[in-house]
């Protein structure tokens, strides 16, 4: 069964997108920023004769995390990786963002999931939401697609949509059109083998690269070492020996070679 990771900043409409695809209110929508980075909830959604597992994840609302945010994130990451391994790996990433300017947080979310979580091994599809007031939703893409290339945010497909029918169904036509676009996108992009690395190696690489990415942005800040990492790993269910071993491996992970992971120096349309 294809596993689709839906990610993006809080408020971009990820839960509404899942409800649109499912044609049912199965995902709880909220305007708040509840949840921790890499926290996830999965939903089983049929499309025609096929079934998909959609993962509603919590991304970054700021370009950086800090020490406490990092330690919580790796705990959430381990649970997500365990769940994904059990379900067969990742088939497609789906980056959800509101129509508008590409912010630093949007760039950071793209890097977090594509570069760090998936090691650039999983294709990304872009979903642009909140386009109900555009004369042509697809026209928005034609006018803005060069901006994604400018920031190195490449994709294998896109859908320009609205995830809300509007008060009194004023946007119902575009809403139904959006559901069909999402179904077509999913069906066209998921006929490939899922990416499924070994669980501990996957987690170690992710935690190490995330650690390097966060703390190279603040060279003078405290960087958690093996002992603190081991204590957090014990919370994930690692034995004392395993926690110490994996913590050392996390610290030994080299910096990502791709400088595009650091969006602090990149241009933003904010």
Q: End-to-end CA distance of the chain: give it in Å, rounded.
A: 39
Of residues 59 and 202, more confidence is placed in 202
Q: State the sign of the Cα–Cα–Cα–Cα dihedral 232, 202, 105, 136.
A: negative
Give the C-alpha separation, 46 to 267, whole Å: 40
| pLDDT tens digit sequence for 225-236 | 888 889 888 888
Fill in the DSSP letter of residue 196. -
Give the C-alpha separation, 140 to 220, whole Å: 42
The confidence score (pLDDT) of residue 77 equals 93
Least-confidence region, from 33-37, 80-84, 131-135, 151-155: 33-37
Give the C-alpha separation, 234 to 44, whole Å: 31
pLDDT at residue 118 tops 90: yes
Strands (E), 118-261: 124-129, 157-160
Give the C-alpha separation, 131 to 98, whole Å: 8
The model's confidence at residue 54, banded by pLDDT at 50, 70 and 90, is very high
Give the C-alpha separation, 156 to 259, whole Å: 22
| pLDDT tens digit sequence for 127-180 | 999 999 999 999 999 999 999 999 999 999 999 999 888 888 888 999 999 999
The model's confidence at residue 202, banded by pLDDT at 50, 70 and 90, is very high
Residue whose C-alpha is closest to residue 65's, from 223, 199, 186? 223
Fill in the DSSP letter of residue 241. H
Average pLDDT over residues 75-89: 93
The confidence score (pLDDT) of residue 124 equals 96
What is the residue whose two structure tokens read 């896109």? 158
The model's confidence at residue 257, banded by pLDDT at 50, 70 and 90, is very low
Q: Which two tokens stand for residue 57?
A: 């994840």
- Beta-sheet pairing, 40-47 with 124-129: unpaired
The distance of Cα 190 from the centroid of its chain, to the nearest Å, equals 17
What is the residue whose two structure tokens read 């899922």? 194
Mean pLDDT (the chain, rounded): 85
pTM of the entire structure? 0.87
The confidence score (pLDDT) of residue 192 equals 81
């Amino acid at each position: 069964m294809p596993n689709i990771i839906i990610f993006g900043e809080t408020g971009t409409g990820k839960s509404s997108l899942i409800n649109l695809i499912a044609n049912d209110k199965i995902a709880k929508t909220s305007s708040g920023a509840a949840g921790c980075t890499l926290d996830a909830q999965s939903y089983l959604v049929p499309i025609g004769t096929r079934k998909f597992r959609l993962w509603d994840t919590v991304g970054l609302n700021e370009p950086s995390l800090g020490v406490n945010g990092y330690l919580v994130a790796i705990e959430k990451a381990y649970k997500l990786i365990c769940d994904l391994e059990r379900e067969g790996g990742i088939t497609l990433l789906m980056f959800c963002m509101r129509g508008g300017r590409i912010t630093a947080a949007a760039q950071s979310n793209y890097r977090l999931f594509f570069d760090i979580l998936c090691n650039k091994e999983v294709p990304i599809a872009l979903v642009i939401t909140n386009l109900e007031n555009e004369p042509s939703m697809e026209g928005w893409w034609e006018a803005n697609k060069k901006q994604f290339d400018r920031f190195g945010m490449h994709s294998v497909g896109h859908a320009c949509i609205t995830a809300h029918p509007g008060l009194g169904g004023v946007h119902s036509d575009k809403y139904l059109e959006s559901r069909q676009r999402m179904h077509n996108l999913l069906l066209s992009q998921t006929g490939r083998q899922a990416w499924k690395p070994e669980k501990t190696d996957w987690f170690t690489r992710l935690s190490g690269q995330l650690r390097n990415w966060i703390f190279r942005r603040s060279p003078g800040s405290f960087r958690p070492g093996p002992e603190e990492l081991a204590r957090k790993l014990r919370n994930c269910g690692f034995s004392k020996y395993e926690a110490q071993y994996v913590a050392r491996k996390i610290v030994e992970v080299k910096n990502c070679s791709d400088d595009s992971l650091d969006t602090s120096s990149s241009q933003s349309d904010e």
